[in-house]
Amino acid sequence: MGDQRAESGDGQRAAELTAGSDAINGWSRLPEDKRNFLDLEFTTFQVAEQPSLRLFLYTPADGRSETKLREVAAAASTAKP
pLDDT digit string, tens, across residues 39-73: 999 988 877 777 788 888 899 999 999 999 999 88
- Residue ranges per domain, the chain? 10-78
Strand partners, 34: none
- State pLDDT tens for residues 12-36: 655 554 445 567 788 888 888 778 8
Give CA–CA dist 1/4, Å, rounded: 8
| Residues sharing a CB contact under 8 Å with residue 39, sequence separation 6 or more, in sequence order | 27, 28, 29, 60, 61, 62, 65
What is the value of pTM for the model shown?
0.56
Sign of the CA dihedral 76, 78, 80, 81? Answer: positive
What is the per-residue pLDDT for 22?
A: 65
What is the per-residue pLDDT for 50?
A: 77
